[in-house]
Amino acid sequence: MRSAKAIFIKQLQDTFKNRLILIQLIIFPMMAFIMTELVAKVDETIPNSIFVTMFAAMFVGMTPLVMTNSAIAEDREHKSLRFLVMAGVKPYEYLLGIGGFIVLFCSFVSLVFGLIGGFTGVVFVKFVSVLVLGSVASTLLGAIIGILSKNQQAAAALGMPIAMLLAFAPMIANFNNTIEKIADIFYTQQVNVLVNDSSASVTRPFFIIVLNIIVLLILFTLAYKKKGLKS
């Protein structure tokens, strides 16, 4: 576990020195805050939490995915991963270090979203828990893309369209029944359902998100067996 801890600390230090990733982390809660303060709280016809839920769902679909795939792809491209493996770091320790930090950091941002939205009590806990679960799924998907990509450019080319598709599908689903039916199987749609409607039944969306995580874990195992972490 000490290797996972060392990689967790590395990822923490590196994230705060990586402007592109910091922008990814800050932009969604910042937009949610600005829109809530300037639009939702001014216009009484708009629910106060509408921008928070919208940007939170986008954040979960995009940020953990992009952070994970770019971290893994960069380590592969710069051959840093080679030195970690040579130092005896096991693949699961590496992925636990990277993924653990990203999920934890996204959990912190989820708390910020909850505070901006003004949620309290059970609603607050449910809101944050759903975002954390969604972040786990996105991190796994990012790890799959990072493993399958040769370098950062390839990871971005593959990761960004997938992230955008997952982040924006729930929004498009509002206007099209067919897309809604397709989007229904993805975790981002279920995250969107749960964060937008605090009175919605939890069982089905929760089941679909967990199912997504299980499927992504299986796909991750297959991708790892095929490509591994070797540069």
Partner 1 sequence: MIKMTNIVKRFGEQTVLADITFETYTKEIFGLLGPSGAGKTTIINILTNQLSADEGTHSIDATPFETGLMLDEDGLYVRLNCLENLNIFAGIYGISHKKSMEALKRVGLESDAKKAVNTLSRGMRQRLAIARAILHEPKVLFLDEPTSGLDPVTARGIHKLILNLRENGATVFLTTHNMDEAVKICDRVALLHKGKIVEQGIPTEICHRHNAVKTVPDLEAVFIKMTGVGLE
Residues that bind partner 1 (CB under 8 A): 2-3, 5-7, 9-10, 13-14, 17-18, 78-84, 86-89, 230
Q: How far is CA 6 from the centre of its chain?
A: 22
Minimum CB distance to partner 1 smaller for 153 or for 201: 153
Closest contact distance (angstroms) between CB of 84 and partner 1 is 7
Q: Which is nearer to partner 1, 17 or 122 (CB)?
A: 17
The distance of closest approach from Cβ of residue 85 to partner 1 in the complex, given in angstroms and rounded to an integer, is 8
Give the nearest distance from C-beta 172 to partner 1 in angstroms: 36
Residues with Cβ < 8 Å from 110, sequence gap 6 or more? 56, 60, 127, 128, 131, 132, 135
Q: How far is CA 68 from the centre of its chain?
A: 9
83 or 207, CB closer to partner 1? 83
Our CB check for partner 1 shows the closer of 17 and 226 to be 17
C-alpha to C-alpha distance for 40 and 38, rounded to whole angstroms: 6
- Provide the minimum distance between the beta carbon of 86 and partner 1 in the complex, in angstroms, as a whole number: 5
Residue 4 CB, nearest approach to partner 1 (Å):
10
